Amino acid sequence: MYIKPSSKKDKRYDAVFDGKTIPFGAKGAKTYVDSATDKTKQAWLARHSVRGTFNNPRSASSLSKHILWGPTKSVRSNLKSFKKKFNLS
pLDDT tens-digit profile, the chain (89 residues): 999 999 999 999 999 999 999 999 999 999 999 999 999 999 999 998 887 789 999 999 999 999 999 999 999 999 999 999 999 97
Cβ–Cβ under 8 Å, residues 8 and 84: no
* Domain segments of the chain as ranges: 27-85
CA–CA distance, 39 with 85 (Å, rounded to integer)? 24
Sign of torsion over alpha carbons 40, 46, 51, 53 = positive
At residue 52, the pLDDT reads 76
Assess contact for 82 and 70: CB atoms under 8 A. Answer: yes
Residue 2, classed as helix, strand or coil, is strand
